[in-house]
Amino acid sequence: MAEKNIKNRQNYSHLIWTLAKTDFKMRYHGSVLGYIWAILKPLFLFLILNFVFSQVIGRGAGIPHYSLQLITGLILWNFFAEGTMAGLTSFISKANIVTKIYFPRWIVIIASTLNSLLVFLASLIIMIGFFIFYGVHPSPVEILTAAFYIFGIYILIFSFSLIAAPLYLKFRDLAQIWEVLTQALFFAAPIIYPLSILPEKYHKLVLLNPMGILIHYSKIVLIEHRFPGFDNHLILITLVLSLLAAGLIFFNKKEKRIAENI
Amino acid sequence: MSNAVQVKNLSKSFKIPHEKLETLRGSFVSIFKRKTHETFKALDNISFSIKKGEFFGILGRNGSGKSTLLKILASIYEPDKGSVKINGQISPFLELGVGFNPELSGRDNIHLNAAILGLTPDQIKRKFDQIVAFSELERFLDQKLKNYSSGMQVRLAFSVAIHADKDILLMDEVLAVGDSNFQKKCLDEFNKYRRAGKTVILVTHDTDIVKKYCDQALLLRKGRIKTMGSARQTANEYIFQNMSDEEKRLFEQVESQENQRNQLSPGKSGWLKDIAKIKKIEFLNPKGKSQKAFQTGDDIIIRLHYQTRQPIEKPVFGVSLDAGDGTHIVGPNTQKSSRAPKLIDGSGFVDLVIKENPLNLGLYFVTAGLFNKDNTLTYDFKSKKHSFKIITIDESQDGPIKINFYWKEKQ
């Protein structure tokens, strides 16, 4: 029995990988620039925002490495926004598989969100380019710490999808609602501004948003070469893990009826 | 354990809301309204088992619960009540290639489909050439799937499914798409599967395939098991079930045509019926028992009950027999018969006795008429309102009648 389980897990990892690869292939299928779009999209957004905030408003001027901060925040945020949307709609976009064959349903969520991870990894090239251009060189330990935060973002995406994907089958408004919410959260997280420009009393509020913490810490570690301190991580890890637990419990309840509700 | 599948008291129903609530606004509004939904019992207390190595057919009309049953067997749906025990791994094949992507090449689709069916990368590598060879699509392998014909897609999908090499193969109505050559190939492959001790479950409308290849079969009707047993018996039952539905439909058609005719010429209808009419038509066996189905070679008595208001001299009774597809078979009448009634008055009946009927499997319609002695006046005419069925054991002949024949070779 144990042997069978191990064998099954291997099968699943292959399945997940195949599904994610197909998604990634299909995503820019038929477009002239293809995968390059994965990189260009956050870059264009960066150019616009960078222009608005450093030239028009003039905010960027006093902040060290504003452009670097902006691109880092944007790429991390883009990962979150795309990943949650892909996870939310995963069962609908893979309806032709989910209603025809059985395999554990979380595989669909992993495969769909993994695709966003692939796109994110592709856009890391830009971030690396920016870091080299501005001469900021994070140490290996700092890079590893940032990778840990990125893993945290993926767990957030996954936990959100575990809850939202089954709900979306019944309430199709959820996609629209989430789109608006991500817009709002974008401004609530320290992306276009560093946390330091906010009055001290708002810091706690911003850091209630786990995405806010993760982006803030990533920027601190990579750009300012500071470590945010262990105490703060305890809160972060507790927050992320309890979201994951809630997601797993909810999903476990809903899993059996997913095919019927599509 | 010799059972591949064991299903016990399985029930499944679906709630069908009268208005599907797909938006939040909809469900907010509906808080204040009484929620209305119908419960549709797709499967109602079903029990059966399938032995290992069996070729099992599931028959039923649309909406009989076939697909629901298949999806429960494939564990896509969760049963409400009852239990399903599956002994072995299932390779479900509910549609042309699960997850097939039209924008990918045939090659990529094989990899994708095989991964979904649970093959490991090693297995895929090993079996890839076999899969391609079986599908006979070598030349098209690097074309996009959207450029394949539906027959080609089925071939590709089927090849992958059969090479997934699971213990139980679950097949839904897919053979219909392939050409007869490929169908035969698939069915031969099924037989190979079965010889290897594996189980094949096939859902189909094709009674010929069930009769030819299945060992056992199950007929579903409105979520219940109507018949279960030998494939041949079950397939015949299905044919008859469809016939009686067809019969009902034709009957309603004739009825409405007749009503229309009556409405068009209200004065003409019925006035002759006041003089004499055929009250009832019965089909009996030689023992006098009324029945609706006979076997080829049985004696059939068609009894026409009449009623007259006034005496009629040398009335002519006529019967016409037509096959279900409208082919006219025979039309005997009493005009030239020595045993024709001389005079009828009041009520009584005449029998048309068909000795050792030569009819083949199918549904037959009876038209009966009552005329005056020179056939110039029609008292009553009942067109194709009644029918009986013929069951046959030997199904080697087709067409509406059976003849005794043999072949002889010149030495």
- Give the Cα separation of B73 and B199 in Å (integer): 13
Binary contact (B120, A14; C-beta < 8 A): yes
Instruction: Using 50 as the pLDDT threshold, list the residues of chain B that sit under it.
Output: 262-271
CB contact under 8 A, B22 and A26: no
Query: What is the DSSP annotation of B123-148?
Result: HHHHHHHHHHHHHT-GGGTTSBGGGS
Is A11 an interface residue toward B (CB < 8 Å)? yes
Query: Among candidates A152, A166, A142, which has minimal Cα distance to A212?
Result: A152
Which pLDDT belongs to residue A2? 34
Q: How far apart are CA B167 and CA B160, in angstroms?
A: 15
The pLDDT mean for chain A works out to 87
Residues 11-50 of B with CB under 8 A from A: 14, 21-25, 27
A202 at interface of B, judged by CB pairs closer than 8 A: no
| Alpha carbon A114 to its chain's center | 10
The partner residue sitting opposite B112, judged by closest CB among A22, A102, A172, is: A22
A238 at the B interface (CB within 8 A)? no
Q: Is A99 on the interface with B (CB under 8 A)?
A: yes
Of A101, A170, A177, the CB nearest to B98: A101
Q: What is the pTM (predicted TM-score) of this model?
A: 0.73
Which tokens in the block code for residue A238? Answer: 């507790």
Taking CA B350 as the corner, what is the angle to CA B344 and CA B353, rounded to the nearest 5 degrees? 155
- The b-or-e profile of B43-70 (16+ CB within 10 A means b, else e) is bbebebbbebbbbbbbbbbeebbbbbbb
Q: What is the pLDDT of residue B209?
A: 82
Q: What is the pLDDT of residue A4?
A: 38
Asked if A15's CB is within 8 angstroms of B118's CB, the reply is: yes
Residues of A in contact with B120 (CB under 8 A): 10-11, 14
The residue to which tokens 């619960």 are assigned: B65
Cβ of A10 within 8 Å of Cβ of B99? The answer is no
Q: A103 CB near a chain B CB, below 8 Å?
A: yes
Question: In this model, does residue A3 exceed pLDDT 80?
Answer: no
Select from A21, A27, A100, A257 the residue whose CB has the most chain B CBs within 10 Å, as the one to mutate to test that interface.
A100
Say if B117 is an interface residue toward chain A (CB within 8 Å): yes
For residue B278, the distance in angstroms to the closest alpha carbon of chain A comes to 55
Phi/psi of residue B314, nearest 5 degrees: 40, 60
Cα dihedral B22, B24, B28, B31 sign: positive
Q: Do B98 and A172 touch (CB under 8 A)?
A: no
Confidence of residue A7 (pLDDT cuts 50, 70, 90): very low
Q: In Å, how far from its chain's centre is CA B179?
A: 21
Q: CB B104 to CB A25 under 8 A?
A: yes
Contacts of B161 in chain A (CB under 8 A): none
Closest CB to B76: pick one of A22, A25, A259: A259
ipTM: 0.82
Phi/psi for B323 (5° steps) reads: -75, 165
Give me the domains of chain B, ranges plus CATH numbers.
3-88+167-239 (3.40.50.300), 276-391 (2.70.50.60)
Asked if the C-beta of B74 comes within 8 angstroms of chain A's C-beta atoms, the answer is yes
Residue B10: both structure tokens together:
């399985």
Q: Which helix (H) or strand (E) element contains residue B9?
A: strand B3-17
- Check if A6 contacts B (Cβ < 8 Å): no
Q: Is residue A31 less than 8 Å (CB to CB) from chain B? A: no
Task: Give the pLDDT confidence of B376-388 residue by residue, as tens digits.
Answer: 788 888 877 788 8
- Quickly tell me which residue has 């919410």 as its tokens: A181
Distance from CA of B25 to the nearest CA of A (A): 9
- Band the pLDDT of A102: cuts 50, 70, 90: confident
Whether B115 sits inside 8 A of A260 (CB atoms) is no
| A101–B94 C-beta distance less than 8 A | yes
CA dihedral A245→A247→A253→A255, nearest 10 degrees, is -130
Mean pLDDT of A233-245: 91
State the pLDDT at residue A5: 38
B115:A103 CB<8 A: no
Contact B119 A26 (CB under 8 A): no
CB pair distance less than 8 Å for B99 and A172? no
Three-state secondary structure readout of B173-216: CCCCCCCHHHHHHHHHHHHHHHHCCCEEEEECCCHHHHHHHCCE
Amino acid, single-letter form, for residue A64: P
**DSSP letter, residue B345:** -
- Encode pLDDT of B99-116 as tens digits: 888 888 999 999 999 998
Which residue would you say has higher pLDDT here, B375 or A214? A214
Q: What is the pLDDT of residue B269?
A: 42
How crowded is the C-beta side of B35, counted as CA atoms within 13 Å? 12
* pLDDT of the residue at B291: 86
CA-angle at B385, arms to B384 and B386, nearest 5°: 95
Contacts of B111 in chain A (CB under 8 A): 18
- Is A13 part of the contact surface with chain B (CB cutoff 8 Å)? no
Show residues of chain B in contact with A99, CB under 8 Å: 71, 76
Q: Which chain B residues are within 8 Å of A22, Cβ to Cβ?
A: 101, 104, 108, 112
State the nearest Cα–Cα gap between B166 and chain A, in angstroms: 14
pLDDT of residue A29: 78
Say if B80 is an interface residue toward chain A (CB within 8 Å): no
